[in-house]
Amino acid sequence: MKQQSAEYFAWFKFLYVEGLNTAARRLIYKAICEKKITIEELFVITDFEFREIFSEFGTEDFPALSVQNFRATNTKKIQTKFEDLYEDTFFIPLVSPYYPRRIRQRLGPAAPPAFFGRGHLPLINVRHIAVIGSEAADEKEIKLTWRLCTHFARMGYDVLSNHSWGVSEHAHKSALVADGTTTGLIACGFNDFWVRTNIQKRGYEVNSLFISAVLPNKLFTKKTIQERAKLLVAWAEAVVVVKSDYFKDENTDAHGHIAAARYALENNIPVFIPHKKLVNRYSLGNAELSVAGAIEFTHPREITAFLYHRSKPA
* Long-range CB contact pairs, 96-105, < 8 A, 24+: 96/1, 96/8, 98/122, 98/124, 98/125, 99/124, 100/124, 100/125, 100/211, 100/235, 101/125, 102/128, 102/234, 102/235, 102/236, 102/237, 103/231, 103/234, 103/235
The mean pLDDT value for 28-55 works out to 92
How far is 142 from 276, CA to CA, in rounded Å? 15
Please report the pLDDT score of residue 282 as a whole number. 79
The mean pLDDT value for 120-124 works out to 93
Please report the pLDDT score of residue 249 as a whole number. 46
Please report the pLDDT score of residue 253 as a whole number. 46
Where are the chain's structural domains? 2-86, 121-311
Q: What is the DSSP string of 129-196?
A: EEEEE-TT--HHHHHHHHHHHHHHHHTTPEEEE-S-STHHHHHHHHHHHTT--EEEEESS-GGG----
Q: What pTM does this model have?
A: 0.89
Please report the pLDDT score of residue 233 as a whole number. 93
Please report the pLDDT score of residue 136 as a whole number. 86
Note the CATH number of domain 121-311: 3.40.50.450
Please report the pLDDT score of residue 254 as a whole number. 47
Say yes or no to pLDDT of 3 above 70: no
How far is 15 from 36, CA to CA, in rounded Å? 20
* Mean pLDDT rounded to a whole number for the chain: 88
Sheet holding 114-119, edge to edge: 90-93, 114-119, 208-212, 182-186, 158-161, 128-133, 238-243, 271-274, 295-297
75-86 pLDDT per residue, tens: 888 988 888 876
Q: What is the H or E stretch that residue 286 is in?
A: helix 284-292
What residues contact residue 168 under an 8 Å CB cut-off, 6+ apart?
131, 132, 133, 135, 161, 162, 184
Say yes or no to pLDDT of 33 above 90: no
How far is 98 from 123, CA to CA, in rounded Å? 9
Q: Where are the beta strands (DSSP E) in 154-299?
A: 158-161, 182-186, 208-212, 238-243, 271-274, 295-297
Highest mean pLDDT range out of 58-72, 238-252, 283-297? 283-297
135-183 pLDDT per residue, tens: 888 999 999 999 999 999 999 999 999 988 889 999 999 999 999 999 9
More confident residue, 160 or 109: 160
Say yes or no to pLDDT of 17 above 70: yes
232: how many CB neighbours lie within 10 A of its CB? 26
Say yes or no to pLDDT of 314 above 70: no
Say yes or no to pLDDT of 31 above 70: yes
The mean pLDDT value for 44-73 works out to 89
275-302 pLDDT per residue, tens: 988 987 878 889 889 999 999 999 999 9
Cα distances from 248 to residues 27, 143, 294, in angstroms, run 35, 23, 23
More confident residue, 274 or 108: 274
246-270 pLDDT per residue, tens: 655 444 444 578 888 999 999 999 9
Q: How confident is the model at residue 306 (pLDDT cuts 50, 70, 90)?
A: very high
Please report the pLDDT score of residue 75 as a whole number. 85
